[in-house]
Amino acid sequence: MTANQLANHPVVSRLAEIQQELCLKDIQFASQLRLGMHGANWGKILAGTYDGSHVKAITKLQVALESWANPVSGDTEEGIVILRHVQEALDAVEIALAADDEHRLVVISGPRGSGKSRSISLIHAKYGGYSQEALPSWSGSYLNFLNKFGAGLGVAPSTSAGLAETAILNAVGAMNKPVICIDEFNYFSPSGINFMKAMLNVTTAVQVVSTIPHYLARMACDTKTAQEAAQYLRRAVAIIHIPAVTDRDVNQIQKALFPSLLLQPGQAHAVAAAANRKSRLDSVVTIFADTDGHEDLASAILRHERGLKVTLKPGED
């Protein structure tokens, strides 16, 4: 098989069609469909310039295509649908639990409504430990942050940051491989980030944190937090970026949560498109909950989108 024959193989052609439907760049597409290769190599295959093993490549692509095409199961755990990013987060926690060094951090990044909090909730329900949603006030006084953080661990408030740090680290250290889950991690100050880094260094705790991509990028670029954020993120075993809603996600949610709603061809794609315009997975659930059946689904999408319209102020676009 030549590189040109590989580029024109029916499997490659079908995957290229799916990529176009999902509007994803090569690296994102390779990750989302789990092609078993880097997105740059997928781009070379499309261009007819791939110089690796063509037989191995087509085998990997065939597996990925079959996985994508096969009906989804609609599995749930603790009432949460096990979508791909949820399974990736669970797998990453298992890897972190087995680590024997400071690389025990899992970061979940996605826009509002994409399922970050649901993933955090499932991880906490499955592994126990400590879970809390960070507050805007955590970005201010370091002592206030420590006292709020420690309260969830049963640590009494302190008037000294040093004493509070020691008490928290002792409480975490006394736990057996605890999993510490923090939603809205963007509210951490540089001192707070440094403390989380220190906790990875001196305890066996696994940390799972979530935030919005914009905030994660800002933490890595802002001069106030860049150094601490970079050092902290180097301890991650996985940074999971939740992708746009796919037809597969829609089908999986339907099977798991709305089994009596039988979707017709093309309807999953219409729901996914509407969901990606606003609120992601939340929109999928809202649309399904509002419809009386597949005949009403288009109307439910329109009702949902009308409800999301806002009046822009002068100067907004």
CATH 2.130.10.30 for the 80-241 domain, yes or no: no
Q: How buried is 315 (Cβ within 10 angstroms: 0-12 exposed, 13-18 middle, 19+ buried)?
A: exposed
Q: Helix axis angle, 226-233 relative to 190-202, nearest 10°?
A: 30
Q: Give residue 313's pLDDT band: very low, low, confident or very high (50, 70, 90).
A: very low
Whether residue 123 has pLDDT greater than 90: yes
What is the structure's pLDDT at 314?
A: 44
Tokens of 280: 């992601």
Query: Helices in 188-296 by DSSP H: which ranges?
Result: 190-202, 213-221, 226-233, 247-257, 267-277, 280-290
119: CB partners within 8 A, 6+ apart = 80, 85, 86, 89, 108, 210
What is the structure's pLDDT at 29?
A: 86
Over residues 23-48, the mean pLDDT reads 87
Nearest to 117 by CA among 135, 136, 132: 132
Whether residue 11 has pLDDT greater than 90: yes
162-173 per-residue burial string, b: 16 or more CB within 10 A, e: under 16: eebbebbbebbe
- Residue 17, CB-side half-sphere exposure with 13 Å CA sphere: 10
Residue type, 184: E
What is the structure's pLDDT at 81?
A: 93
What is the structure's pLDDT at 316?
A: 39
Nearest to 22 by CA among 250, 269, 297: 269
Express each pLDDT in 158-175 by its tens digit: 999 999 999 999 999 998
Q: Give residue 288's pLDDT band: very low, low, confident or very high (50, 70, 90).
A: very high
Mean pLDDT (the chain) is: 89
Q: How buried is 31 (Cβ within 10 angstroms: 0-12 exposed, 13-18 middle, 19+ buried)?
A: middle
Express each pLDDT in 48-72 by its tens digit: 999 989 988 999 899 888 877 765 6
Express each pLDDT in 215-244 by its tens digit: 888 888 888 888 999 999 999 999 999 988
Whether residue 197 has pLDDT greater than 80: yes
Over residues 167-185, the mean pLDDT reads 92
Spatial distance between the Cα atoms of 63 and 68, rounded to a whole number of angstroms = 9
What is the structure's pLDDT at 156?
A: 94
User: What global pTM score does this model have?
Assistant: 0.77
Whether residue 312 has pLDDT greater than 50: no
Over residues 278-288, the mean pLDDT reads 91
Please give the helix or strand (H or E) that residue 241 lies within, else none. strand 236-241
What is the structure's pLDDT at 71?
A: 55
Domain boundaries, the chain: 3-69, 80-241, 247-308
- Residue 33, CB-side half-sphere exposure with 13 Å CA sphere: 34
What is the structure's pLDDT at 308?
A: 63
